[in-house]
Amino acid sequence: MQQQLEQALTVLKQNHLKVTKQRKALLSYLLANQDHYHDVTLVDDYMRQQFPGMSHNTIYRNIKEFEQAGMVEQQVQGDHARVKYQCDFSHLHHHHFICQRCGKVTELKDCPIDIFAAQLPGCQIVGHRIELYGVCAECQLAAAESNTH
């Protein structure tokens, strides 16, 4: 994890963002929990426990700056936002499988956009996001084992 933190701090510097103890703490928290999306309010609660004088605005601004730097992925559904660390800088464009039981996020490297583009002649696609939902292998195995006991 230390190597990933160093890589993240390098990305901060490349994006002209100061390395502060608060930003380091936020990155460390996101790195330690990078296989799940986390409710932004829980991230906010964690940061305010670590730094009681830190404002909500500062925390949300840092998350937004991390997202703009390509370090954080955000999921927004209505007024509910969730965030996770973007852990694979060599594949910034990717999609996800999200387990509906445990919440684990698996990154998918292949992109099926050409299949959709072929169905839309004359159209210009300017962006997309693909998320697959289901039950991961570990949760299926656990469910099967609990049914046999």
Domain locations in the chain as residue ranges:
2-85, 93-148
Residue 87 assigned to a binding site = no
**What class is the 93-148 domain?**
alpha beta
Residue 111 assigned to a binding site = no
> Can you give the length of the chain in residues?
149
Residue 123 assigned to a binding site = no
Rounded to an integer, what distance in angstroms lies between the CA atom of residue 87 and that of residue 40?
A: 18
Give 5-14 pLDDT, tens digit per residue: 888 888 889 9
Give 71-115 pLDDT, tens digit per residue: 888 888 778 888 888 765 555 577 778 888 888 888 887 888 888
CATH topology of domain 2-85: Arc Repressor Mutant, subunit A (1.10.10)
Question: Contact at 8 Å (CB) between 105 and 72?
Answer: no
* Opening angle at CA 48, ends 64 and 14, nearest 5: 35
Best CA proximity match to 17, nearest among 83, 87, 69, 57: 69
